[in-house]
Structure 1
Amino acid sequence: MKKMKVYGVIIFRICVTFAAKGDKCFSPAICLKNEQVTPSWIQVRPIEQCHWSVSKGNISLQNENSRMNKTIEELQLTIQLHETKMEKMKVEFGEILEKFNASMLLLQKYHSDCDVYYSGMCFKIPLNKLPTKKNFNLTHAVEFCKKIGWKLASVYSVDHYNLIASYVRTKISSSMSWTMIWLGMTWDSNAETMHLSNGELAPELPWRETNSSKNMGWDKIGMLVKLDENAIQGIVTVQSDNMRHGALCEK
Structure 2
Amino acid sequence: MITREAYQKSDESEIARLIKKSLDEKKKAENKCDVTYKTKCFRIVVYGTHNVTFNDAEPICKSMNNRKLANIYELAHYQSLLPYLRSLIPAGIEWIEIWTGMEYKNNQLLLLSGEPITIATEVWYPSYPTSDESRTNVVVQIHKDQEFVRQGMINAKPSWSKYGVICEI
TM-score interval, smaller chain: 0.7 to 0.9
Q: Is 2:38 the counterpart of 1:119? A: yes
From 117, 142, 165, the equivalent of 1:247 is 165
Describe the shift of the 1:164–1:145 C-alpha distance in structure 2 as closer, same or farther (beyond 3 A): same
CA deviation string 1:206-245 (max 9, x = no partner): 111043x611111111110001112110010011111000
Q: Which is richer in helix?
A: 1
Structure 2 counterpart SS, 1:176 = coil
How many Å separate the matches in 1 of 2:113 and 2:29? 22
How many Å separate the matches in 2 of 1:209 and 1:154? 20
How many Å separate the matches in 1 of 2:126 and 2:90? 24
Describe the shift of the 1:112–1:219 C-alpha distance in structure 2 as closer, same or farther (beyond 3 A): closer
How many Å separate the matches in 2 of 1:179 and 1:186? 19
Aligned to 1:204: 119
Percent identity between matched residues is 27
Which one has more relative contact order, counting CA pairs under 8 Å at least 6 apart?
2
Aligned residue pairs total: 137
Q: Tell me how far 1:132 sits from its aligned partner.
A: 3.0
Q: Which is richer in strand?
A: 2
How many Å separate the matches in 1 of 2:41 and 2:138? 19
User: How do residues 60-209 of structure 1 correspond to structure 2 at under 5 angstroms?
Assistant: 113-126=32-45, 130-148=46-64, 149-188=66-105, 190=106, 192-205=107-120, 206-209=123-126
How many Å separate the matches in 2 of 1:153 and 1:110? 19
TM-score for the superposition, normalised by structure 2: 0.75
Give RMSD over aligned pairs: 1.9
How many Å separate the matches in 2 of 1:112 and 1:220? 26
CA deviation string 1:122-152 (max 9, x = no partner): 00114xxx32311000111111000011011
Runs of 4+ in 1 over 6 A off after TM superposition: none
TM-score for the superposition, normalised by structure 1: 0.51
How many Å separate the matches in 2 of 1:153 and 1:161? 11
Give the letter for the 2:112 counterpart. S
Gap regions ≥5 residues in structure 2: 1-27
